[in-house]
Structure 1
Amino acid sequence: MASAVLPAALAVMLTSTGAAQAAAPVDYVAPVDYVALGDSYSSGTGAPPYQSGTCFRSSRGYAPLWADTHEVSSFRYAACGGATTQSMTDQFAALDAGTDLVSITIGGNDVGFANTMITCVTGTDASCVNAVDAGIEAARTTLPGRLDATYATIRDRAPNATVVVLGYPRLVEPNGTCMNATKRAALNRGADDLHEVIAARAAAAGVRYVDARAHFAGHGACGRSPWINSFSLLRLVESFHPNATGYSQGYLALLNSATS
């Protein structure tokens, strides 16, 4: 999520704590024209192999898995690792009046979570807490307007589509082996704040929001049954992104809950 180096997942690091929020099933008639927008959590980063290019798009991401298991008339996979609300012009081009369904994760990279995650992995407790607090401030002040503009553009480009906004999960298990208790608590506090901002702006825009936190609970990085990759210098781009199970049992299940 956070940057081109650590796309969508680091954004999520500051994302979550509590229970999943259910979305009412999408009211559409199959087959559907489906467009998947968003950052690396929507492009499947963390579950290689990837398509060519720099978006780290994977066929094991939740979007192609959904398209493979539902009746679709077209599927456009526009999501790109590292995307922010300010870099979605090319993605918006995939939308049109015939689009029936749009899914998206976005917002984490706008508030600098890659840097926050790296700081928390490598720095002191104080530097981690300060980085989280800076991310929270950005989430509360800068992000709302950007999300409003993003959702409005989607509505304008795809006026007939149902829009499903998927939230970010808690990335590290509260009692896991990643970092220490102070850092884990700070990251989860930041994650909750990001959830609240995204959920509020989705509601204001009249789009559907699905809270990922409860569904991923017990499956964070460094726990006993991880759906999230832990930090690795050798696989830096995949750090703190969902693994294949995180997409198939995590995000796909969440999108299914909103569309069936």
Structure 2
Amino acid sequence: MKLRRTATLVTSFLAAAALTFTGAGAAAAADTQAAGGYVALGDSYSSGVGAGSYDSGSGDCRRTPKAYPALWAAANSPASFDFVACSGAKTGDVLANQLGPLNSSTGLVSLTIGGNDAGFADVMTTCVLKSEATCVARVNEAKAFVESSLPAKLDSVYSQIRSKAPSANVVVLGYPRFYKLNGSCVAGLTEGERTAINGAADLLNSVISKRAADHGYAYGDIAAAFTGHEICSGDSWLHSVKWTGINDSYHPTAAGQSGGYLPVLNSRA
């Protein structure tokens, strides 16, 4: 009995020590990243389109302090913060225009990219304005591109990030699944169209996550974070068609940035 009690005490002590070490390690990792620079790359989901309060100096890139990169920087005070994500960006735009701030001192990089390469805006325009059959055909065309052509484009971006910022923690974030099926919407797209669009988002995320993992990068599952907050959920963190601000359509609201994207980045950074 005495030996068993001693072993139990030793085991408990070691477990507590391990937890303490793990917590200290996580805090040290966060401090290390804050001590280095933070560079936020990507497209409109990173620039914050849909969240409002756009910085006039960012022009058509439509960056906002309500976007998750700006929120993370405000909370963690990195040594430097370069917010270069831009609405409409494709993989080629990241390579050509956004990698300049990366260097050996960069501690954290975040990124959303791939949706525009796959023709996101055209898919949604087609589905809103045309028939279900035409919508589904356009979605399938986008899915074929995602499977055949997007992986190499992502590889080019991911490789260049590592080349320019060899010590950075790179967090690749995905995209929301747009619709809650059989939800509260009584008008708009058909369930068949919503199902097709969700399936395309799932495929896009699976390709992005696989390529990120192959480069040793952390992947943030945004679809999971937005579950319960899709369009037709009754508590959406996404704009549907917004006729008074069409560019905001199908983008996260300010709540989607702070309640969806930011916690996922926090968990990976």
Give the TM-score normalised by the residue count of structure 2.
0.84
Q: Is 2:108 aligned against 1:114?
A: no
Check conservation: 1:170, 1:213, Cα contact below 8 A.
yes
Aligned residue for 2:134, secondary structure, equals helix
**C-alpha distance in 1 between matches for 2:244 and 2:265:** 31
**C-alpha distance in 1 between matches for 2:148 and 2:109:** 26
Q: Is 2:230 aligned against 1:223?
A: no
Give the greater-gyration-radius structure (CA).
2
**C-alpha distance in 1 between matches for 2:255 and 2:140:** 31
Partner of 1:3: none
Partner of 1:149: 156
Partner of 2:76: 70
Q: Is 2:70 aligned against 1:60?
A: no
Check conservation: 2:123, 2:139, Cα contact below 8 A.
yes
1:6-60 CA deviation, whole Å, 9 max, x = no partner? xxxxxxxxxxxxxxxxxxx793514231000000000011011211211011110
Which aligned runs of 4 or more in structure 1 are off by greater than 6 angstroms? none
Partner of 2:267: 257
Aligned residue for 1:111, secondary structure, equals coil
**C-alpha distance in 2 between matches for 1:214 and 1:123:** 29
1:92-118 CA deviation, whole Å, 9 max, x = no partner? 112111111000000000011111011
**C-alpha distance in 1 between matches for 2:168 and 2:101:** 13
**C-alpha distance in 2 between matches for 1:170 and 1:249:** 15
More helix by share: 2
Amino acid in the other structure paired with 1:32 = G
RMSD of Structure 2 on Structure 1 (CA): 1.3
Amino acid in the other structure paired with 2:85 = A
1:160-196 CA deviation, whole Å, 9 max, x = no partner? 1110000101112222324111011000111111111
**C-alpha distance in 2 between matches for 1:158 and 1:149:** 14
Q: Is 2:170 aligned against 1:163?
A: yes
Give the TM-score normalised by the residue count of structure 1.
0.87
Partner of 1:43: 47
Aligned length: 235
Amino acid in the other structure paired with 2:231 = A
Partner of 1:179: 189
- Mark the runs of 5 or more structure 1 residues left unpaired by the alignment: 1-24
Partner of 2:223: 213
The percentage of aligned residue pairs carrying the same residue is 45
Amino acid in the other structure paired with 2:68 = Y
Partner of 2:198: 188
Check conservation: 1:165, 1:207, Cα contact below 8 A.
yes
**C-alpha distance in 1 between matches for 2:223 and 2:124:** 18
| Higher-RCO chain (CA-CA 8 Å, sequence separation at least 6) | 1
Partner of 1:92: 99
Residue from 204, 209, 216 that aligns with 1:199: 209
Check conservation: 2:35, 2:107, Cα contact below 8 A.
no
1:119-167 CA deviation, whole Å, 9 max, x = no partner? 1111111011101100000000110000000000101111111100001
Partner of 1:17: none
- Mark the runs of 5 or more structure 2 residues left unpaired by the alignment: 1-25
Aligned residue for 1:164, secondary structure, equals strand
